[in-house]
Amino acid sequence: MREALRLAAFAASLGEVPVGAVLVLDGQIIGRGFNCPISSHDPSAHAEMVAIRSAARQLGNYRLPASTLYVTLEPCSMCAGLLVHARVERLVYGTSEPRAGVAVSQQHFFEQRFLNHRVIVQGGVLATESQTLLRDFFKTRR
């Protein structure tokens, strides 16, 4: 999670919303990402999406079983769907996202019975650090 926080801080330095993510397999980081939809002109360039795309390319597989995604902010619906499609085993996130988070805040997406894959969810890891990054970023924007 500390590496995800470092990536989130880097995103903030670029003027992007400070969210960072790393995908880990067998104790090794296999994908890194930070929010970059503004600079990449890509609305799907959320930290989770970037990290998972990077890992899939590195492994040469669109399925990432037994992996864990660490992300500083509770995922949105797009990223939650991606975790299921990529078969990520576990999600660990920092702070909740009351307006758009779907792990627990707006919906318990990963508990939906129609899903063909279950993601184990753990929230609140280094939540204070994640909240501080976001709060400080938005203070400068307002």
| Ramachandran assignment for 51, one of left (phi > 0), alpha (psi -120 to 50 degrees), beta (any other) | alpha
Residue 71 token pair: 């992300």
Check whether 36 is labelled as a binding-site residue: no
- Hey, is 21 helix, strand or coil? strand
Q: Is 108 annotated as a binding residue?
A: no
Which residue numbers are catalytic? 48
Q: Is 76 labelled a binding residue?
A: yes
Which residues are 70's β-sheet partners? 22, 92
Residue type, 50: V
Annotated binding-site members for Zn(2+): 46, 76, 79
